[in-house]
């Protein structure tokens, strides 16, 4: 085990030393990843240079710098299905006339699905092309900005969703605190992030430069508590074990004085990572069933989108026929 002095204190417990658990990203580029021995939080330390981050976004999010975003039909199909599944998952939280905000809304698929069901939903999206697509294709009210720079009135929303965003931000606790302010009393914040305990990726693909933090359910729940959010429900997404956590706004009572050392959580994360070796990964059925399932998904998409339908027609057809789609969540 190699202990390192961190350049960043642990975002949850404040610890300043941690165990080094990775020295490269999935492309083999130098990237040090550390595991907090007090709470099991995993983060990139030191942070990658701005050149590395830009390279990642230039390659992974090729459209980041383009002002137009025109997804292929199969992507419209895929994103609409995901949005429908996400909508089903929050449906039990929805009351008539509630206000919803999707932070990092991409092309606006999720707020669009919510709006077709009669809800007042809007989005924030930093990418200009995605934000324009959401506004122009789906008529979703979308603010084109980083949410950290957006000044919204406090207590504006009944439900805020944050889908695969928190792992990218520089200060997850501050992010949760900012979103909490925008929530009305008893409002809900639904957060989905990758799970450091998931083993569907080969170990060499575990870390990458775009993800500044890696959570497990326990430390994400406590990060919410630190920001003044109570856990309403905690589930995992089927197949990929992403964490799907529903927080509810609670009073900020002495939360700053709580101790966020989480006994046993470091050992839990450490053992899962050590057990998931490259050999174990490739002798398990996981990579093969995942491959077969992806191929099946791609075939379905190809069959479904052979038409001249516009993006909105593709989305509307799916919305009309998929509203009894099963949830992706397991308790």
φ and ψ at 138, to 5 degrees? -115, 0
What is the C-alpha to C-alpha distance for residues 9 and 16, in angstroms, rounded to an integer?
5
* Structure tokens belonging to residue 279: 């050999």
Taking the complex as a whole, the smallest distance from the CB of residue 114 to Zn ion amounts, in Å, to 35
φ and ψ at 317, to 5 degrees? -65, -40
Nearer to Zn ion, 196 or 315 (CB): 196
* Contact residues: Zn ion, CB under 5 A: 10, 12-13, 15, 36, 38-39, 41
Taking the complex as a whole, the smallest distance from the CB of residue 13 to Zn ion amounts, in Å, to 3
- Torsion angle defined by CA atoms of residues 267, 231, 112 and 110, in that order, rounded to the nearest 10 degrees: 10
Taking the complex as a whole, the smallest distance from the CB of residue 214 to Zn ion amounts, in Å, to 12
Nearer to Zn ion, 10 or 218 (CB): 10
Taking the complex as a whole, the smallest distance from the CB of residue 14 to Zn ion amounts, in Å, to 7
CA atoms within 13 A on the CB side of 300: 9
Nearer to Zn ion, 9 or 317 (CB): 9
Nearer to Zn ion, 4 or 202 (CB): 4
Nearer to Zn ion, 38 or 163 (CB): 38
Nearer to Zn ion, 39 or 220 (CB): 39
The secondary element (H helix, E strand) that includes residue 237 is strand 229-237
Taking the complex as a whole, the smallest distance from the CB of residue 170 to Zn ion amounts, in Å, to 16
What is the C-alpha to C-alpha distance for residues 16 and 83, in angstroms, rounded to an integer?
39
**Contacting residues for 11 by C-beta, under 8 A, at least 6 apart:** 41, 43, 171, 172, 173, 213, 223
Q: Which residues pair with 33 in a beta bridge?
A: 22, 44
DSSP 79: H
Taking the complex as a whole, the smallest distance from the CB of residue 266 to Zn ion amounts, in Å, to 8
Q: Are 147 and 104 in contact (CB under 8 A)?
A: yes
User: Interhelix angle for 109-116 vs 73-90, to 10°?
Assistant: 60
Taking the complex as a whole, the smallest distance from the CB of residue 10 to Zn ion amounts, in Å, to 3
Taking the complex as a whole, the smallest distance from the CB of residue 168 to Zn ion amounts, in Å, to 19
Q: Are 161 and 101 in contact (CB under 8 A)?
A: yes
Nearer to Zn ion, 113 or 245 (CB): 245
Nearer to Zn ion, 36 or 105 (CB): 36
Q: Are 286 and 200 in contact (CB under 8 A)?
A: yes
Q: Are 140 and 115 in contact (CB under 8 A)?
A: yes
């Amino acid at each position: 085990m190699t202990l390192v002095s961190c350049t960043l204190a642990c975002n949850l417990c404040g610890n300043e030393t941690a165990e080094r658990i990775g020295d490269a990203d999935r492309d083999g580029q130098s990237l040090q990843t550390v595991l907090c021995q007090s709470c099991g939080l995993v983060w990139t330390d030191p942070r990658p240079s701005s050149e590395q981050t830009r390279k990642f976004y230039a390659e992974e999010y090729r459209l980041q710098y383009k002002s137009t975003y025109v997804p292929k039909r199969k992507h419209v199909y895929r994103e609409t299905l995901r949005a429908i599944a996400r909508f089903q998952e929050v449906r039990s939280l929805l009351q008539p006339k509630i206000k919803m905000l999707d932070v990092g809304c991409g092309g606006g698929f999720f707020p669009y699905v919510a709006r077709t069901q009669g809800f007042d939903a809007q989005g924030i999206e930093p990418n200009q092309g995605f934000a324009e697509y959401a506004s122009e294709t789906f008529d979703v009210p979308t603010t084109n900005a980083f949410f950290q720079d957006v000044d919204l009135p406090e207590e504006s929303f009944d439900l805020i969703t944050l889908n695969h965003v928190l792992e990218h931000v520089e200060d997850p606790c501050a992010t949760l605190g900012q979103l909490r302010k925008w929530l009305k009393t008893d409002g809900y914040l639904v957060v989905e992030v990758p799970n450091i305990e998931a083993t569907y990726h080969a170990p060499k693909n575990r870390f990458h430069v775009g993800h500044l933090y890696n959570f497990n359910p326990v430390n994400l729940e406590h990060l919410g508590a630190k920001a003044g959010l109570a856990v309403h429900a905690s589930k995992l997404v089927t197949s990929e074990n992403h964490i799907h956590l529903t927080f509810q706004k609670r009073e900020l009572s002495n939360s700053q004085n709580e101790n966020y050392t989480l006994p046993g959580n470091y050992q839990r994360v450490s053992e899962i990572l050590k057990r998931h070796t490259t050999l174990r990964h490739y002798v398990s059925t996981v990579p093969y069933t995942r491959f077969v399932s992806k191929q099946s998904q791609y075939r379905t998409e190809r069959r479904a989108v052979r038409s001249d339908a516009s993006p909105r027609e593709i989305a509307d057809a799916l919305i009309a026929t998929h509203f009894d789609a099963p949830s992706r969540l397991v308790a």
